[in-house]
Structure 1
Amino acid sequence: MADLSVSDLYVYYKVRDADTAQLAPLVRTMQAALVASEGVSVQLKRRPGDPDGLQTWMEVYPSVPAGFDAALARAVDEAGFESLLAGPRRVEVFTELPPCA
């Protein structure tokens, strides 16, 4: 991931309907720990609908400092919930567009 001074991270992944009740508290606990340790804001969202019994979830981390991706990776490893996912976690990074001159 690019080492940017401030960026927004969007992490999305698929979750089986049957695993949502077990996964949600694990993700929320992980995010609460990141708020406490890294001082970041967090959001947890899901796409409406669940075709084929799969939901799409998104973790949003707005305005995170450079290096936050490493803290997030450690937190995910420590949370140990990846076995509940129906595929990989995908991380997207966005930055602000510079203002027009």
Structure 2
Amino acid sequence: MDLYIYYKVKDADAASLQAAVVPMQATLAQRHGVAGQLKRRPEARDGVQTWMEVYPSAPEGFATALDEAVAAAGLSAWTSGPRHTEVFGDVVSCA
């Protein structure tokens, strides 16, 4: 399964949030073998950016480990509102 987590961050908090997310993702990669990606929409609206974390091919139980890592990193101090998680899987061909 692939996890897509999106959330809002104020322009003023973006650098602090990035400084927390990058090492969190590095630790998750080391412990769980999932190479996280950090993305953002190219434009901000009213001083607020939309960011997305992507975790491809996440193993079972990874979502719980991610929630724990987010809490330990204190990301809520820099996000504006809740984190929204979407889960996607590959489309399997019936060939």
TM-score (normalizing by structure 2): 0.96
Q: Does residue 34 of structure 1 match 2:25? A: no
More strand by share: 1
Q: Offset at 1:100? A: 2.7
Match of 2:54 among 21, 38, 60: 60
CA distance in 2 between counterparts of 1:61 and 1:93 reads 10
Gaps of 5+ in 1: 1-6
Task: Compute the RMSD of aligned alpha carbons.
Answer: 0.7
Q: Offset at 1:56? A: 0.3
1:3 aligned partner: none
1:23 aligned partner: 17
Gaps of 5+ in 2: none
List structure 1 segments (4+ residues) > 3 angstroms apart after TM superposition.
none
Aligned pairs, how many?
95
Q: Does residue 96 of structure 1 match 2:65? A: no
CA distance in 2 between counterparts of 1:49 and 1:85 reads 17
Deviation track 1:36-77 (CA, whole Å, cap 9, x = no partner) reads 111111100000100100000000000111111000011001
Percent identity of equivalent pairs: 56
CA distance in 1 between counterparts of 2:45 and 2:64 reads 32
Q: Does residue 11 of structure 1 match 2:30? A: no
Q: Which amino acid aligns with 1:56?
A: T
Q: Does residue 70 of structure 1 match 2:64? A: yes
Deviation track 1:1-29 (CA, whole Å, cap 9, x = no partner) reads xxxxxx00000000000001111010001
